[in-house]
Amino acid sequence: MTAGGHEVVLHGHDAASGLEAIIAVHSTKLGPSLGGTRFFPYPDEVTALTDALRLSEGMTLKAAAAGLDLGGGKAVIIGDPSLAGPELWAAYGRLVDRLGGSYITAEDVGTSVENMAEVHRHTQWVCGLPTSEGGSGDPSPMTARGVRAAMTASAEHLWGTSDLAGRVIAIQGVGKVGGALARLLADDGAKLVVADARRKAAESVATDTGATVVAPDEVLFIEADIVAPCALGAVLSDETVPRLRCQAVVGSANNQLAHEAEAEALAARDILYAPDFLVNAGGIVNITTELDGAYDPVEATRRVDGIHDTMVSVLARADRDGITPEAAAIALARSRLDA
């Protein structure tokens, strides 16, 4: 998916703290750019830059499709997150501050809400702060809630009812999002099948929810109503799509399609693929309510639940125009960006 060139790319280097960071502002057309800070031991700067460019562009589409008045941005810090100290977070906060609010940061892979609290001491342009500081805390439970909202919309589309009771739902990865999702779906009466690379995590979720545990290499391919990839990207490939035995794929993992062509391959097999960037927007929708002033969990929940209606309209548009839901979600985002 492409949405044009980037507005600003800022490279920050601070010798004293060892900070090596790249902030990519893809678009501020709909509002300040927002996206998390990924902290990862990239092998070189080109790989880090490529990731920042790609992820920030994805954030533009995600925010636009979710109806947020925000643009897309992303930052990457090169290095080992376990070695980061207060000086590095201070230097990073000053770097974010230089962009004067055109980029707002948050947590992502390798960073935490506590790290964001440190960054916040040096710039106001941060959200996703700890609840102890009046923020929204860990976004994962709200991301899970958004996934369920997308599932009920998909269920209505496929089976004429949003009721998930009795539906077989297989979850790949029961970490922060997948675990919370399993608990929500168990309350809905779904029959769960779970797998995790950490067997103990899967067993613990199974104890709480009555789920059946299967091996990580089986979970995508069991006979199910819905499969929810909540672990890794690129799980839907020309090797895996032909082996799926489900009616819908609705999960939180980012970049589930190994190639854009897989969206067509899934449609050709009559499998509803709910676009990941729409399904997993609950986290960003939640944290951005902090930008309106004090975090209001009731208002945040209402907005996250709105993913249901967005999904309904994307599926309707896909049917109407004879395109995949992925193409319909991108068209929805583009129509906002081009307006």
Q: Catalogue the active-site residues.
A: 74
Closest CA to 213 of 246, 185, 252, 172: 172
Q: Which long-range contacts (C-beta less than 8 Å, at least 24 apart) are formed by 184-192? A: 184/144, 184/145, 184/148, 185/148, 185/151, 185/209, 186/210, 186/211, 188/148, 188/163, 188/164, 189/164, 189/165, 190/164, 190/165, 190/166, 191/166, 191/167
User: Measured at CB, which residue is nearest to ligand NAD?
Assistant: 175
177 near ligand NAD, rule: CB under 6 A: yes
- Choice from 196, 225, 262, 290 touching ligand NAD (CB under 6 A): 196
Minimum CB separation from ligand NAD for residue 34, in Å? Answer: 13
CB of residue 175 to ligand NAD, shortest distance in Å: 2
CB of 15 to ligand NAD, least distance (A): 31
Neighbours of 299 (CB within 10 A): 12
- Any contact of residue 176 with ligand NAD (CB under 6 A)? yes
Number of residues that bind ligand NAD (CB under 6 A): 24
Binding range to ligand NAD, per CB under 6 A, among 23-31, 124-132, 225-233, 265-273: 225-233
**First-to-last C-alpha distance (Å) of the chain:** 19
Residue 192 near residue 250 (C-beta atoms within 8 A) = no
For residues 91 and 229, which CB has a smaller minimum distance to ligand NAD in the complex? 229
Please tell me whether residue 288 binds ligand NAD under the rule CB under 6 A: no
The answer to whether residue 37 forms part of the interface with ligand NAD (CB under 6 A) is no
State the nearest-atom distance from the C-beta of 198 to ligand NAD, in Å. 4
**Dihedral angle, C-alpha 214, 218, 222, 226, nearest 10 °:** 90
* Residue 102 · residue 123 · CB < 8 Å: no
Residues in contact with ligand NAD, shown as a per-residue x/- string from 124 to 153 under the rule CB under 6 A: ---------------xx--x----------
**Candidate list 63, 253, 278, 328; residue touching ligand NAD; CB under 6 A:** 253
Q: Which of 274, 283, 290, 308 binds ligand NAD (CB under 6 A)?
A: 283
Given 25, 153, 195, 205, the residue binding ligand NAD (CB under 6 A)? 195
Nearer to ligand NAD, 59 or 248 (CB): 59
What whole-number distance in Å separates Cα of residue 12 and Cα of residue 245?
Answer: 47
Are 196 and 216 contacting, i.e. CB atoms less than 8 angstroms apart? yes
Give, in degrees to the nearest 5, the angle at Cα 22 between 16 and 25. Answer: 140
Q: Tell me the C-alpha distance between 205 and 193, whole Å.
A: 10
Contact between 252 and ligand NAD per CB under 6 A: yes
Token couple for 126:
């941060």
Q: Is 249 in the site for ligand NAD (CB under 6 A)?
A: no
User: Is 127:291 a contact under the CB 8 Å cutoff?
Assistant: yes
Contact set with ligand NAD (CB under 6 A) = 139-140, 143, 172-178, 195-198, 201, 216, 230-232, 252-254, 280, 283
